[in-house]
Structure 1
Amino acid sequence: MNFTVQINGRTHSVDVDGDTPLLWVIRDILGMTGTKFGCGQALCGACTVHVDGAPTRSCITSIEMVGDSQITTIEALDTLAHGKALQQAWIELEVPQCGYCQSGQLMSAAALLAENPRPTDEDINDAMSGNVCRCGTYQRIRAAIKQASA
């Protein structure tokens, strides 16, 4: 089937089955490899993208489910309201260790700051609880979100 999707402000036409996960369309069909595959069950957050501004697990979201929605991936993070501030804080505070989960972490953090520009520690914990970092950089992630919100 042919689907038209809006990703990072561009229109893309893809010929895939309707139940194809958005993650595979983004990575394998369109070649945007910043969004990562983690668990395939929406448990780790590595595949987080924004669908109409909401953080969404692309590994379980089928292409037919997105319709005319605007999809934003890590490749366009710097176009989001707090994207550049988050990127800068991530660099300054040396947040990544292995880095694998970081695109999902950043996309969840950007959605949080878009909704709540001055989050408390509890707000950050709640918003980021679905993102797993096997390296355990949670303290630096929280500090970077707070720095970006300042």
Structure 2
Amino acid sequence: MSDIDLAFKRLEGLDLSAIESRGDWGLGRMFSHLAQGVEFSMHGYPVQKPKLFQATVGTLAFKVFSAKGKMSHGLNEPIPGEVVAEISASEGLGRLWSSLETFRDFEGPMQPHFAYGGLSKTQFGKAHLLHIENHLEEVG
């Protein structure tokens, strides 16, 4: 099963009427943030970290997260250039679901991650799954 399929499986089990965010962001804001990360991987991140950062710290961070199967990052930090959106949980989850469907079917070139630099589609799938799982740690 692909990482994107695992992401769908993880999201389809969410009952929005029975969960809430324990973090700084509401569910809609969190899901919108996750969706934008997926969208940016296909269409370009608005702001990039310096190439030196991507080639050193960014590459190492992705390798560590990937090897551990777990990401850890500031859960209230927007993606640089992200449009902050306070929307309902159902709207946010719908946007995330749609972005993952688009990503799954996407055949164009992947755009460099703002921190990790160039990633393959498979690597981005892993990054998106780990990002989703990291944010869901604040949901209960």
Q: Whose RCO is larger (CA < 8 A, sep 6+)?
A: 2
Structure that is richer in strand per residue = 1
Which is greater in Rg? 1
TM-score (norm 2): 0.25
